Amino acid sequence: MKKCTETLIDAGKEAGLQVNAYKTKYMLLSRHQNAGQNHDIKTANRSFENVTEFNYFGTTVTNHSIQEILSSRLLPENIKIRIYKTIIIRVALYGCELHMRRVSAKFVPRLHGDDQRENRVNVCRDLKSEVQNDPEFLKRIVTGDESWCYEYDPESKQSSSQWKTPTSPRLKKARQVRSNVKTMLICM
What is the DSSP code string of 88-113?
A: IHHHHTTTGGGT-EEEESS--PPPP-
Give this prediction's pTM: 0.34
pLDDT tens-digit map of 146-163:
666 666 655 656 666 677
Separation CA 155–CA 151 (nearest Å): 13
* Statement: residue 141 has pLDDT above 70: no
Q: What is the mean pLDDT of residues 81-86?
A: 76
pLDDT band for position 133 (cuts 50, 70, 90): confident
- pLDDT value at position 145? 58
pLDDT band for position 38 (cuts 50, 70, 90): low
pLDDT tens-digit map of 85-121:
776 666 666 555 555 555 555 554 455 567 777 777 7
Count of alpha carbons within 13 Å of 40, Cβ hemisphere only?
11
Q: Sketch the domain layout of the chain as residue ranges.
A: 2-99, 102-187
Q: Which has more confidence, 83 or 30?
A: 83
